[in-house]
Amino acid sequence: MMKQAEHSTAMWTLAGQGVVNGYAIGRAAIMGAAALEVPHYYIEAEAAEAECARLNQAMNQARDDLMSIVQQLPADAPREIVPMLEVHRLLLDDPMLRQQSGEYITERLYNAEWALATQGQNLAAQFDQIEDTYLRERSADIRQVIERVLLILSGQASTPNELALQLDHQEAGLIVVARDISPADMLRLRKVRFSAFLTDLGGPTSHTAIVARSMNIPAVVGLGELRRMVRDGDKLIVDGFKGVVIVNPSEVVLQQYRQLQAQHLSQREQLDQLRDTPAVTLDGVTVQLEANIELPEEAQDAFEAGADGIGLFRSEFLFMGRASLPSEQEQFEAYAAVVRTMQGRPVTIRTLDIGADKTLDGEQTVATNPALGLRAVRYCLMHPDLFQTQLRALLRASQLGLVRILIPMISSMDEVFAVRQALAQAELSLRAEGLLDPFQYELGAMVEVPAMAIAIEPFAQNLDFLSIGTNDLIQYVMAVDRADAEVMGLYDPLHPAVLRLIAHTINRAESYGKPVAVCGEMAGDARLTHMLLGLGLRCFSMPAAQVAWVKQEVLKAHSGALRHKVAAALNRAERIDLQKLH
């Protein structure tokens, strides 16, 4: 059972990065941090062999544990978990870890824990030097693997299990606090009721964040030293909206948050009732609210949330974290599953958007600036076999229902023509193989390169639909790397230049009678719904959990009045005051 902490009870707060919205009030359940408390001592030279064997045995056990976790994975476990566990298993067999740690034992006579922790720090430090954000975050994998082995060496291998057991016997209200949470431990915790989790490490692309989103439980990552500063049993408030943790809150603050939490919960319950209500503004304009998904199984959540379709299936998640590329058949099955799940609602599948912070396993980038390099459609056109495989799979899925094929990072009409040619080739090859049913597809492009947004007319004329990727559009308009925490303050979705480009794209698409959506994060931010309606947007695509929140805003909006207000501000290149739109 948790004990109440016996240290300072003054209230203090810490800010990190909110990953999942929501509030939680509860007590800290500290997850083991064996790496921080590792015993350091010298061994006798004659004990070195036995010490090496002790280390190897612990590493073998950690590897066997991981394999049994993979075998017992629940059917609803996020699909990306298996490759993540595989990375951990490979690390356990990596000579860089095993042999080098063994050398610390035999040459320096370190005890096994010390040897392993030292080598782990060396490797993690090397990863920390890497510029690529995604790869840099993989140093967390090393730390997690080392923690697992250290726990086995210390005889407390089951810390996450123990925590799970503790949690099982508690009412909801326990908040997991950890330096980092490995995917394997996250899975164990997934089965248990807890109300939030907080980690010192991790960013928006860390494993913790990926799983957190699929669990939809309030979470804050990147809290720095929280794990060291908080004790088991401390009272905590988690504000996932602001990315803030309040430790030892005063009664007044607790009361405020209890109210906020109750409001949020009852709002969520009320919103569930909107599931089948069409999203229509006060002045009678119907708005499409679609869902973004990364994995085929998420289509079910989208359907249940009442989404009008899939506005963005980021197909690259099928390609990442694995040693080989998915075959045409595997891709076809994934795309077909989404089409079937959506039961006739439109399905937009984006072709491989690899590059920048999303890399294929084993692929080394030589680009000095990968976000401006061989990314997305540029990569696909340079790898025609890979592109053909995907296009054939998409066309086959389109025989089951309408598939909107969405091309990322288009910047020139030449690319559009090249894609059309590749599609014609895929069609021909399938016809030659006797696939006679009609292919039901439309071709569209992401508007995320400023050049395309500025000179949008030929694209609007030649394509069937457009989808504005504000995540990248903002990065390229503002010259701010979307993954770089140091310049996050400059990443400004409300900058008049960004909004003018969105408005221009929507207006021109409208004049050519072509549908246009926004599928970047802005579309799922309910604080921006009125503004986007004012820019003329009529199709929003967002994470499924956001659909109801955005719908609520649509139902309160008068689109005609909003259009006037927003146009007036944009004409003056003024910063839009969101408060004045309500």
The Cα–Cα gap between 411 and 400 comes to 31
Is residue 448 a contact point for ligand PEP (CB under 6 A)? yes
The count of residues interacting with ligand PEP (CB under 6 A) is 10
Determine which helix (DSSP H) or strand (DSSP E) holds 100, and give its type and residue range. helix 95-108
Query: Which residue, 105 or 542, is less far from ligand PEP as judged by CB?
Result: 542
Is residue 51 a contact point for ligand PEP (CB under 6 A)? no
- From the candidates 207, 380, 495, 530, give the one annotated as an active-site residue: 207
Part of the chain binding ligand PEP (CB under 6 A), chosen from 75-83, 121-129, 270-278, 464-472: 464-472
Part of the chain binding ligand PEP (CB under 6 A), chosen from 241-249, 276-284, 465-473, 530-538: 465-473
Binding mask 331-370 for ligand PEP (x = CB under 6 A): ----------------------x-----------------
Query: Which residue, 174 or 483, is less far from ligand PEP as judged by CB?
Result: 483
The Cα–Cα gap between 233 and 2 comes to 6
Is residue 470 a contact point for ligand PEP (CB under 6 A)? yes
Query: Which residue, 6 or 363, is less far from ligand PEP as judged by CB?
Result: 363
Neighbours of 33 (CB within 10 A): 20
Is residue 80 a contact point for ligand PEP (CB under 6 A)? no
> Taking the alpha carbons of 575, 578, 579, 582 in that order, is the dihedral positive or negative?
positive
Work out what residue 388 binds among Mg ion, ligand PEP, none; the CB cut-off runs from 5 to 8 Å by kind: none
The Cα–Cα gap between 515 and 581 comes to 25
The Cα–Cα gap between 129 and 124 comes to 9
Query: Which residue, 238 or 483, is less far from ligand PEP as judged by CB?
Result: 483
Report in angstroms how near the CB of residue 51 gets to ligand PEP at its nearest. 48
- From the candidates 52, 519, 530, 539, give the one annotated as an active-site residue: 519
507 half-sphere exposure, CB direction, 13 A CA radius: 13
The Cα–Cα gap between 145 and 157 comes to 12
Work out what residue 470 binds among Mg ion, ligand PEP, none; the CB cut-off runs from 5 to 8 Å by kind: ligand PEP
Verify whether residue 380 is a known catalytic residue. no
Task: Let me know: does 413 contact 435? Beta carbons within 8 Å.
Answer: no
Is residue 472 a contact point for ligand PEP (CB under 6 A)? yes
Work out what residue 314 binds among Mg ion, ligand PEP, none; the CB cut-off runs from 5 to 8 Å by kind: ligand PEP
Write the DSSP symbol of residue 3.
P
Is residue 472 a contact point for Mg ion (CB under 5 A)? yes
Q: At what angle do helices 112-128 and 139-153 cross, to 10 degrees?
A: 170
Interface residue with ligand PEP, options 183, 202, 218, 469 (CB under 6 A)? 469
Those residues whose C-beta lies under 8 Å from the C-beta of residue 316, and which sit 6 or more positions away, are 350, 352, 353, 354, 358
Is residue 520 a contact point for ligand PEP (CB under 6 A)? yes
Part of the chain binding ligand PEP (CB under 6 A), chosen from 40-48, 129-137, 303-311, 470-478: 470-478
Q: Looking only at residues 431 through 470 of this chain, which bind Mg ion when binding is defined by CB under 5 A?
A: 448, 469
Task: Let me know: does 291 contact 302? Beta carbons within 8 Å.
Answer: yes
* 547: nearest Cα among 345, 261, 394: 345
Query: Which residue, 21 or 292, is less far from ligand PEP as judged by CB?
Result: 292
Verify whether residue 207 is a known catalytic residue. yes
Give ∠ CA 395-396-402 in degrees, rounded to 5: 65
Work out what residue 396 binds among ligand PEP, Mg ion, none; the CB cut-off runs from 5 to 8 Å by kind: none
Query: Which residue, 500 or 563, is less far from ligand PEP as judged by CB?
Result: 500
The CA–CA distances, whole Å, from 8 to 12, 43, 225, 255 equal 10, 39, 17, 21
Strands 288-293 and 310-314 come out as parallel
* 89: nearest Cα among 182, 14, 187: 182
The Cα–Cα gap between 34 and 180 comes to 12
Report in angstroms how near the CB of residue 473 gets to ligand PEP at its nearest. 7
Part of the chain binding ligand PEP (CB under 6 A), chosen from 33-41, 43-51, 391-399, 467-475: 467-475
Is residue 185 a contact point for ligand PEP (CB under 6 A)? no
The Cα–Cα gap between 570 and 496 comes to 6
The Cα–Cα gap between 395 and 424 comes to 10
Which tokens in the block code for residue 209?
Answer: 């964040």
Q: Which residues are catalytic?
A: 207, 519
Binding-site ranges for ligand PEP (CB under 6 A): 312, 314, 353, 448, 469-472, 519-520
Binding-site ranges for Mg ion (CB under 5 A): 448, 469, 472
